[in-house]
Structure 1
Amino acid sequence: MTYFRPNINDMSGYAPGEQPPPEAKVIKLNTNENPYPPSPEALKVLQELPGELLRRYPDPMAKAFCQAASQVLGVPADWILVGNGSDDLLTMIVRACTEPLRQVVYPMPTYVLYRTLSQIQGAEFVEVPYHEDYSLPVEQLIAAQGAVTFIASPNSPSGTIVPVELLDKLARQLSGVLVVDEAYVDFAESDALELVKQHDNVIILRTLSKGYSMAGLRLGFGVANPVLLEGLIKVKDSYNVDAVASAVGAAAIADQSHKNANSEKIKASRSQMARELEKLGFYVLPSQANFLLAQSPSGNAQHLYETLKQRGILVRYFNQPRLDDKLRITIGTPEQNETLIKVLGNVLTSAMSQPNSH
């Protein structure tokens, strides 16, 4: 006996990266959190929140946050829709735009939640393989003509970015919605925000989880023409963003200098870590995110992942095609990065000295 729809029985749910308890003594480089503290301005708002804010229902559209984001991004406030993390926006888009005969399309490997949400909705999904160098298979994506096409840029887990000209070409030639998921844009050299002004079928997604050091707050947002947002508003939960997140998030996004300073530190560490990994024999993809995808010199990425975990360092391992010989490593503080490189060096050296090693 089952209580669930056949598609729910048949699927496996999304598995987030391992979250050890806060008191655990580990170096956590597995879920792309920012290693630096959030904005002091945001923390001040959090500490001074009046109880009345908790007693009442929140503003259903989180207008305080929309106003702050509007100032920063230079788009009208009514072009912004806020969610409980950008994952909430992904759910709204799939819920509003797809059904069994309306396909979801995306390149692979990418963020696997796109597949999970499609399966929940009972929508067909088309996974188009990325080229070997992670350049975008534009023509195949256009040919698929999805009701929704998801492009993460920078992409996870590769860290690679899609040139805005290619996204513009997609937007012009797709009949459905183009979702540009810019969760990692705060570490990139460019963005695609201008496309929402040129195309009413484009929505750009952003989050406070990465650049703003607020993964625990769960606040993300979409930017699109109000005509596109109108359909998403119909399917969102009534009060999907709580009063605390809206107030604290507004202060965080207003403090651009704090976010930018942290992003610059992470970008500098990213370059250094890429060089150190390459010295150890890893092949590292060029990244514009706050992580690196590194191909193990021994090919045995799972063994490296497990050995690092035993030594108190968490990185991300994906047991799936094209990723099972690689590790995705979040950029930590300089001290954390140094420890990781040192331990990896020791592990690889001891593996080389084993009599059975090839």
Structure 2
Amino acid sequence: MKIPFRRTIARMEGYLPGEQPQERGFIKLNTNENPYPPSPAVRRAIRAEADASLRLYPDPESTRLRRQAALTYGFDLSRVIAGNGSDELLAMIARAFVGEGDTLCCPTPTYTLYDTLVRIQGGRIAGVPYPEDYSLPADLAKRRAKVTIVASPNSPSGTSVPTGALADLAARVPGMLVIDEAYADFAAESALSLAREKENVIVLRTFSKSFSLAGMRIGLGFAHPAILEGLNKVRDSYNLGRLAVVAGEAALKDIGWMEKNAAKIRKTRATLLSALPFLGFSPFPSQSNFVLAKRARGRSARPVYEELKRKKILVRYFDTPRLAGCLRITVGTDDEIGALLAALGEML
């Protein structure tokens, strides 16, 4: 059957998420979910909202969530936008700024959804390889792209870029600088202040990681009001449901709960980082809730990934030339990481 897709859509590959096993019993360390539950206040808010009002459309502006975000992070309400996860905010940015033949630049390897969203628009990705230490590539601004995206901390490396380097980059790029801070709550610093100080900077956050709300799909964007005015033109109507709005609001009001969970994850991360070199892996210095670890002597990590899967432990393997020797391991609970380390020890 001939289906009249746009040529761009017919030729492209779709984004491939991490594996979500249907069988029970796996230790799931492959998609960077938080191993700890969300705040009890979130569950109370959802139960209270799950009444007859669900027959009504939600607030199209997600005002309650945005107002609490403005209060929590110290922004004017006009500088905050809400999305159905930060992925939707990334899609808005692609719609608003990337047209046929336009360029989006980003360091690579990074979050592969950027490439997918640009291809949907008929645009072009200009990937600039990270150096071996995953420091910011020196010539990002030279690509003269309409949009430059830097994930900090970056996935899959877990490494972060100093705020000063991002501020310098914002001054040099000719277009927009998007700083994807999906994992910022696990890092030593955040570039959120640049969304106040720079007129060409958009900072994105998600509730999926540190707030333990991957299943609710809630994201935030911070930028100059004129930028958000344009993004709102391409935002889906009623893009957050009623339950997501109150869940996000409650999570922000009880931000201390998230901060305690993030501290536990950082502590377990330190244990994982210190143990991996004794098990044949060299980890990169993670500032996230996962660790990218490179197998010794340039060997492929696929056999280790497959053996762990047989043992019902899922980690992430990327079948690309630069990452074929690496595993990305989500930081789970102490018990989950203990089981992973024991399994790796059995393979020595």
State the Cα deviation string for residues 279-331 of structure 1 (Å, max 9, x = none).
11211000000000001136120111111011100000000121110000000
User: Partner residue of 2:18?
Assistant: 17
Residue 263 (1) aligns with residue 262 (2): yes
SS at match of 1:48: helix
Give the C-alpha shift of residue 2 in structure 1.
3.7
* Alignment-mate amino acid for residue 130 of structure 1: Y
State the Cα deviation string for residues 27-47 of structure 1 (Å, max 9, x = none).
000000000010011111112
User: Partner residue of 1:337?
Assistant: 337
Give the C-alpha shift of residue 7 in structure 1.
1.3
Give the C-alpha shift of residue 126 in structure 1.
0.3
Measured in 2, the distance between the counterparts of 1:119 and 1:127 equals 13
SS at match of 2:157: coil
State the Cα deviation string for residues 188-212 of structure 1 (Å, max 9, x = none).
0000011111111100000000000
State the Cα deviation string for residues 162-218 of structure 1 (Å, max 9, x = none).
011111111111121100000000100000011111111100000000000000000
User: Partner residue of 2:238?
Assistant: 239
User: Partner residue of 2:133?
Assistant: 133
Measured in 1, the distance between the counterparts of 2:249 and 2:64 equals 6
SS at match of 1:24: coil
User: Partner residue of 2:64?
Assistant: 64
* Alignment-mate amino acid for residue 208 of structure 1: F
Measured in 2, the distance between the counterparts of 1:266 and 1:145 equals 38
Measured in 2, the distance between the counterparts of 1:242 and 1:46 equals 11
* Alignment-mate amino acid for residue 266 of structure 1: I
Residue 302 (1) aligns with residue 302 (2): yes
User: Partner residue of 1:352?
Assistant: none
Measured in 1, the distance between the counterparts of 2:243 and 2:332 equals 27
8 Å Cα contact 2:110-2:156 kept in structure 1: yes
Q: What's the % identity of the aligned pairs?
A: 47
Measured in 1, the distance between the counterparts of 2:231 and 2:275 equals 45
Measured in 1, the distance between the counterparts of 2:103 and 2:300 equals 36
SS at match of 2:35: coil
State the Cα deviation string for residues 28-73 of structure 1 (Å, max 9, x = none).
0000000001001111111222423311111111000011111110
User: Partner residue of 1:26?
Assistant: 26
Residue 79 (1) aligns with residue 79 (2): yes
Residue 223 (1) aligns with residue 254 (2): no
* Alignment-mate amino acid for residue 14 of structure 2: G
8 Å Cα contact 2:64-2:246 kept in structure 1: yes
Higher mean Cα deviation, 169-178 or 202-211? 169-178
User: Partner residue of 1:354?
Assistant: none
* Alignment-mate amino acid for residue 209 of structure 1: S
SS at match of 2:228: helix
Q: Which runs of 5+ in 1 are unaligned?
A: 350-358
Measured in 1, the distance between the counterparts of 2:94 and 2:324 equals 28
* Alignment-mate amino acid for residue 91 of structure 2: T
* Alignment-mate amino acid for residue 140 of structure 2: L
The alignment's C-alpha RMSD in Å is: 1.0
Q: Which runs of 5+ in 2 are unaligned?
A: none
Measured in 2, the distance between the counterparts of 1:53 and 1:296 equals 53
Measured in 1, the distance between the counterparts of 2:171 and 2:140 equals 12
* Alignment-mate amino acid for residue 39 of structure 1: S
State the Cα deviation string for residues 248-287 of structure 1 (Å, max 9, x = none).
1100111111000000000000000111111112110000
User: Partner residue of 1:3?
Assistant: 4
Measured in 2, the distance between the counterparts of 1:53 and 1:278 equals 54
User: Partner residue of 1:355?
Assistant: none
User: Partner residue of 2:176?
Assistant: 177
Q: Once superposed, which parts of structure 1, at least 4 consecutive aligned residues long, lie more than 3 Å away? A: none
SS at match of 1:250: helix
Higher mean Cα deviation, 294-303 or 204-213? 294-303
Give the C-alpha shift of residue 158 in structure 1.
0.3
State the Cα deviation string for residues 103-133 of structure 1 (Å, max 9, x = none).
1100000000000101111001100000111
User: Partner residue of 1:187?
Assistant: 186
* Alignment-mate amino acid for residue 60 of structure 2: P
User: Partner residue of 2:119?
Assistant: 119
Residue 93 (1) aligns with residue 97 (2): no
Q: What count of residue pairs does the alignment treat as equivalent?
A: 346
SS at match of 2:205: strand
Measured in 1, the distance between the counterparts of 2:198 and 2:144 equals 16
